[in-house]
Amino acid sequence: MNDFRMLVTGANGFVGSAMCHAAVARGFRVRGATRKGAQLESGIENIAVGDIGGCTDWREALRDIDVVIHLAARVHVMRETLADPLAAFRAVNVAGTENLARQAAEAGVKRLVYVSSIKVNGEETTDGRIYRASDMPAPQDPYGISKWEAEQALHRVAAETGLEVVIVRPPLVFGPGVKGNFAQMMKALQQGFPLPLASVQNKRSLVYVGNLVDALITCATHPAAAGQTYLIGDGADLSTPELLRQLGSALGCTVHLFACPCWLLRVTAGIAGRSQQMHRLLGSLQVDSARIRRELGWHPPYTLQQGLQETAEWYRNHA
């Protein structure tokens, strides 16, 4: 058993569950933090920490921990109902993260790996441009703004306490257990719906959850990662039609695509209140993950196609 002791926040979530499983498989001693003490897989100690914010007590969860993988967050929602969503995001993602970092430093934790979001860079890439970690941040929505402010708070804590901080900004994460738009896409393909996306010519970066958690383990353990910010991707950017065809093949489905002008799709989506969903299907968002490969020697252990196959197999068994 590895003596390296890891705390994973949001341990019962989509990425958190995969993170705990991968860390245990590598021989790390893992403790999971969840809001209400949810059941975790065998071999993982679980600590209930309640709601995350500026007053959360992390002392028990941080006892004897070497590194924290901070995944817990108020996540982006498609149909926001709060009058002041930015305040809600800041309470959890900014105040909650800074509070965790300060208590981690006090507890003698060496490093905190923060899973941020590519939304810190912006919402889309245009004219062949690719997002890089060195870009000037340009978050557009409350979620992205809160993630950028959390990154800044962590750097302040690091400067004041010596806590090592590593920032990781993933694009869309997929894999077994995925929800949201990706799951809806698999459902539409499996049910044989014709989709008006044949003429879309975008490019989007994705990251398979198995690749993301492998990168997070590298960021948690590699000496050169301290103080750095990394973008993560599978390295094979796809257009929406290409993704649908590859995912349909993995699902064993016939994919029915037909052409429709993008302007008409945007107008129709706007009328239906689904502009953000359509934006993700039509727009480009590409990331450059060369930095983590160069500086840490990290390479994705799974291809994009392997990740799609694993995701499709899970969906067929659980849909």
Catalytic residue IDs: 143
CB atoms within 10 A of CB 263: 9
Q: Which residues pair with 230 in a beta bridge?
A: 168
Token pair for residue 313?
A: 């197999």
How many Å apart are CA 169 and CA 231, to the nearest integer?
5
| Residue 79 CA neighbour count, 13 Å, CB half | 5
Q: What's the maximum distance between 2 C-alpha atoms anywhere in the chain? A: 58
CB atoms within 10 A of CB 143: 23
How many Å apart are CA 136 and CA 4, to the nearest integer?
35
Q: Which residues pair with 115 in a beta bridge?
A: 168
* Residue environment code for 187-222, b if the CB has 16+ CB neighbours within 10 A, otherwise e: ebbbeeeebbbbebebbbbbbbbbbbbbbbbbbbbb
Name the packing angle between helices 180-190 and 240-251 (round to 10°).
60
Q: Are 145 and 172 in contact (CB under 8 A)?
A: no
First-to-last alpha carbon distance for the chain, in angstroms, is 36
